[in-house]
Copies of this chain bind each other. A is one copy, B any other.
Amino acid sequence: MAGKGILLVVSGFSGAGKGTLLQKLLEKYDTYVLSISATTRSPREGEVDGREYFFRSREEFEAMIAAGELIEYACYVGNYYGTPKAYVEEQLALGKDVILEIEIQGARKIKECYPDSVLLFLSPPSAEELRRRLTGRGTESMEVIENRLSRAAQEAQGIEDYDYFVINDNIEDCVQQVHQILESEHSRSFRNGERIGKIREEVGKFQK
């Protein structure tokens, strides 16, 4: 019954609530798994290889790039980060919906390699609310906040490239909405070739 899973790419402004959304989706439904990235940065305390990240040396990472084992990768603050193809495809084949949290360039790359993937952009209800959430955290300096807001302005340019635009006003409603989108995507004809073929064959026997 499960069929093949869907690759769901989630992007959105810092402060849109991506982290909470993903955490709640994973808690609430057993159909989702998070994609695990590979990185060359050192593990922080408590981080486990193959759980938070696949920790790799720079040589190993570059060998993965060369072998085409990454769907996408980027360099950030001197370290590589990338999405290993093998883990994603293994989970999709098991019927899991695999969630990837990634920014716009990565999202475009994913859609290129996996045209059947679903790209979703998460937004706060307003820019004012975004600023309130970022300052409300109280953990970041004004400079960091301003950088994030400025970055949001850039990210907003690419929203049309996403399949869905979801506003996170109330987090529980938002979790429900994203889950419904995934359920609906599973009903798309192009994802149901096998079922359609079966019913076509069966009713074909009625042809006079």
State the CA gap A160–B123 with chains docked (Å): 33
Is A127 an interface position by the 8 A CB rule? yes
Indicate the member of A121, A167, A184 with the most B CB atoms within 10 Å.
Answer: A184
State the CA gap A193–B159 with chains docked (Å): 10
Which of A20-28, A56-64, A79-87, A194-202 is the contact stretch?
A: A194-202
Interface string of A145-160 (1 = CB under 8 A from B): 0100110111011011
**Chain A contact residues: helix, strand, loop or mixed:** helix
State the CA gap A195–B130 with chains docked (Å): 15
CB pair A149 B203 closer than 8 Å: yes
In the complex, how many angstroms separate the beta carbon of A70 from the nearest chain B beta carbon?
Answer: 27
User: Which 4 pairs show the lowest CB-CB distances between chains A and B?
Assistant: A127-B202, A149-B206, A153-B207, A184-B184
